[in-house]
Structure 1
Amino acid sequence: MWLKVIIVVLFIGLVASLFTGLTFLFQDRESEGKSHRLWNTLSVRLVMTALLLGFLMYGVFTGQLASNAPWDARQPTEAAAPK
C-alpha cells in the first residue's frame, strides 16, 4: 500500500513542478537569464521523474503492481497446466 501512496505523491509533485516551471518561464522572461529558478524546477522534476520510474519498476518486479488489462491476461502454458 505504501508504494502506491509514494507513486501518487511523486506524480502530484511532478504536476506541481511542471506548473511552477511554467509560471517561472513567464515571470522570468524579462530578467534575461539572471534567474535560475526555471533550471532549478527542471532539475527537481528530473529527480522526481527518476524516482517515480524507479518505484514503478520496483513495484512491477516485486509483483506489488500488476496490469489488469483484458488484453494482458496470462494464458496458462501446457507445461504449467495441471494433468
Structure 2
Amino acid sequence: MLKVLIVVLLFAVIISLFSGLFFLVKDEGKTSRTVNALTIRVTLSVMLLALLAYAVVSGQLPINPSPLR
C-alpha cells in the first residue's frame, strides 16, 4: 500500500510539472496558473519526501547499503 502511494505521488508530481509547462506556454505569463502549478508540485514533492522518510524510518522501505550483496 505504501509503495502504491509513493508511485501515485510521483505521477502527481509529473502531471503537475507538465501542467505548469502547458500553462506557461499557453498563458504567456498573463495568469497565475503557472505559479499555482508550481505550488502544487512543490507541496506534492514535500509530501513525497516526508512519506519516503517515514517509510525508511519505520522499516517499511528498506535501504540497501551495499548493492553488491
TM-score, scaled relative to structure 1: 0.75
Q: Look up the SS of the partner of 2:26 in the other structure.
A: helix
2:38 aligned residue: 42
2:4 aligned residue: 5
1:19 aligned residue: 18
Name the % identity: 46
Alignment RMSD (CA, Å): 1.4
Q: Give unmatched runs, 5+ long, in structure 1.
A: 74-83
Give every structure 1 segment of 4 or more consecutive aligned residues whose post-TM-superposition deviation is greater than 4 Å. none
Greater Rg over alpha carbons, structure: 1
TM-score, scaled relative to structure 2: 0.89
- Determine if the alignment matches structure 1 residue 61 to structure 2 residue 60: no
**Whole-Å Cα distance in 1 between the matches of residues 25 and 30 of structure 2?**
14
**Whole-Å Cα distance in 2 between the matches of residues 10 and 27 of structure 1?**
25
Residue 31 of structure 2 aligns with an amino acid whose one-letter code is S
Q: Count matched residues.
A: 68
